Amino acid sequence: MKHGDAEVPRLTVIGTGYLGTTHAICMAVLGFEVLGVDVDQHKIDRLAAGEVPMFEPGLPELLTKALESGRLRFTTSYAEAGDFGDVHFVCVGTPQLPDSDAADLSYVDAAVRSLAPHLRRRALVVGKSTVPVGTAQRLTGVLQELAPAGTGAELAWNPEFLREGFAVDDTLRPDRLVFGVASDWADERLRAAFRPVLDLGTPVIRTDLATAELVKVAANSFLATKISYINAMAEVCEAVGADVKDLADSLALDDRIGGKFLRPGLGFGGGCLPKDIRAFAHRAEEIGVGQAVSFLREVDDINRRRRARTVDIVREVLGGDVNGKRIAAWGAAFKPNSDDIRDAPALDVAHTLHDLGGDVRVYDPAALGNARRAFPELRYGDSAFDVAKDADVIVLLTEWSDFREVEPEALAGIVSHRRIVDGRHALDAAQWRSAGWEYRALGRS
Catalytic residue numbers read 272
The verdict on 164 binding ligand UDX (CB under 6 A) reads yes
The verdict on 58 binding ligand UDX (CB under 6 A) reads no
* Binding residue count for ligand UDX, defined by CB under 6 A: 20
Binding mask 122-141 for ligand UDX (x = CB under 6 A): --------------------
For residues 269 and 358, which CB has a smaller minimum distance to ligand UDX in the complex? 269
The one among 12, 21, 135, 220 contacting ligand UDX by CB under 6 A: 220
User: For 160-188, b where at least 16 C-beta lie within 10 A, e where not — what string?
Assistant: bbbebbebbebbbebeebbbbbbeeebbe
The verdict on 332 binding ligand UDX (CB under 6 A) reads no
* CA 180 – CA 205 distance, rounded (Å): 8
* CA 372 – CA 23 distance, rounded (Å): 29
* CA 133 – CA 225 distance, rounded (Å): 20
* CA 274 – CA 438 distance, rounded (Å): 32
β-pair partners for 75: 37
The verdict on 93 binding ligand UDX (CB under 6 A) reads no
Q: For residue 235, count other CB atoms closer than 10 A to its CB.
A: 16
The least CB distance from residue 405 to ligand UDX, in Å, is: 18
Binding mask 178-217 for ligand UDX (x = CB under 6 A): ----------------------------------------
Q: How far apart are the first and last CA of the chain?
A: 61
The least CB distance from residue 377 to ligand UDX, in Å, is: 23
* CA 402 – CA 387 distance, rounded (Å): 13
The verdict on 162 binding ligand UDX (CB under 6 A) reads yes
Contacts of 178 (CB under 8 A, 6+ apart): 157, 158, 159, 204, 205, 207, 212, 215
The verdict on 235 binding ligand UDX (CB under 6 A) reads no
* CA 16 – CA 184 distance, rounded (Å): 29
Angle between the N-to-C axes of helices 106-115 and 135-146, in degrees from 0 to 180, rounded to the nearest 10: 30
Pick the piece of the chain touching ligand UDX (CB under 6 A) from 44-52, 74-82, 98-106, 257-265: 257-265
The verdict on 163 binding ligand UDX (CB under 6 A) reads yes
The one among 283, 335, 351, 419 contacting ligand UDX by CB under 6 A: 335
CA distances 2 to 5, 9, 48, 186, Å, are: 7, 9, 24, 20
The one among 15, 20, 82, 267 contacting ligand UDX by CB under 6 A: 267
Pick the piece of the chain touching ligand UDX (CB under 6 A) from 110-118, 194-202, 205-213, 259-267: 259-267
Q: Which residues would be at the binding site for ligand UDX (CB under 6 A)?
A: 160-164, 220, 223, 227, 261-263, 265, 267-270, 272-273, 334-335
